[in-house]
Amino acid sequence: MMAVRVGIVGWGPVGQNIYRCIHELGLPYDTLKVMATREREDEVDGQKVQILGLGEEFCEGRLGLFEGLDVVFFAGREGEKGAAKTWGIPAMEKYGCYCVDNGADFRMEPGVPLIVPEVNMDDATADTKFIASPNCSTIQMCVALAPLAKVAPMKRIIVTTFQSVSGYGREAQKELCDQLCQCDPHQLGGKCLSFDPKVFRRPIVLDCLPHIDAFMDNGYTKEELKMLFETRKIFGDEKVGVTATTVRVPVEIGHSEAVNVEFAGEMNAAKARELWLAAQEEYGLVVIDDLAKDTAGWPTPSAPKQDSYMGHTYADERSYPTQADVLRDEYKNAVLVGRLRDDYTNPNTVNFWCVSDNLRKGAATNVVQIALGLRRKGLLP
């Protein structure tokens, strides 16, 4: 197979991680153009990167930068002046390149496949030159659900997310760090911290904010509705119910989710665990849910000494993943799952916890995996 001619549009945290993932995941290329609003030189992991300037507005002359490219990853701004809207459609129409958009502008557009490669790579064809990558919180949940949904249809999903500030962007990461510096360890409670209401409506440090994206007329936020409509589109199932509460937490990188899923077919925790373990390599899953052993490497305390509680005896401690784990090199592209247990209030229903790096599998890793999937299908050189 030939090498791929690649473009990246946008040079924030996601764009830089796309650059890293192209190299780490082995997407072979003979051209790699990085484009952003202004021309400059930057450095990633010791490598100098030349960034070509597209400018603030569409310019026919600058469109020529896309000529000859096979695939372009869009990591930049969304909305009316979003990079994918400004450059993606014209580049695809004029030069026939695949455009893989990490933004939200086209996810629910009819005819635009919304791809999680482990789940629905078959939705990408020679006729779908424009491909959308889902919301970060949707991606990790769908990866965890997919091996189970292949065995038993899903009926209803209840999910609460605990999302890091990097999901908002660099400004939010800076705000969290600035507020941490303001904190007096001897007077943590009740102190009024300075904050920018354009980032978060309230200080984020030492607090959790049940508010991600804009509020909609039904009381949900747009982020919560994304998890409903995107999950249905990815699985091709308009009947599955999804209700979400999305929460911003004072963590810099990594999203966690508490998921309760009811199946229309037979399912329990033991069966789900077997399916996960069998699917780890294929789906990029890591099961961290062992008795009396922390496979993430943290020390394990001894079990409580009491005999029982309400008819339940105490067990050994269990391991479980957290957002800190996704910063480890071996987990940065994976979806970590644990806290698997039966929902004893409802048959064929399980609870679990999943964690992933929102800048990697929730964004950069997923789009590069889409390109690798296109190559396996013979749609890219």
pLDDT in tens, 24-74: 999 999 999 999 999 999 999 999 999 999 988 888 999 999 999 999 999
What is the model's pLDDT at position 354?
98
Q: What is the pLDDT of residue 304?
A: 57
Give the Cα separation of 236 and 233 in Å (integer): 5
Take residue 135 and report the two structure tokens written for it: 């919301």
**Cβ burial, residue 212 (10 Å; 0-12/13-18/19+):** buried
pLDDT band at 222 (very low <50, low <70, confident <90, very high): very high
Looking at this protein, which amino acid is placed at residue 332? K
Span 169-212, pLDDT tens digits: 999 999 999 888 888 765 555 566 778 888 999 999 989 999 99
Quick one: 325 exposed, middle or buried, by C-beta within 10 A (0-12, 13-18, 19+)?
A: buried
Region for 203 from its dihedrals, namely left if φ exceeds 0, alpha if ψ lies in -120 to 50, beta otherwise: beta
How many residues belong to the chain? 381
**Percent of the chain with pLDDT strictly greater than 70:** 93
Q: Is the pLDDT of residue 370 over 90?
A: yes
SS3 label, residue 1? coil
DSSP E strand stretches across the chain:
4-9, 29-36, 40-44, 47-53, 71-74, 98-101, 130-132, 154-163, 241-248, 255-263, 285-287, 308-309, 312-313, 335-342, 349-356
* Residues with active-site annotation: 136, 255
Residue 292: pLDDT band with limits 50, 70, 90:
low
Q: What is the gyration radius of the CA atoms in the chain, in angstroms?
A: 22
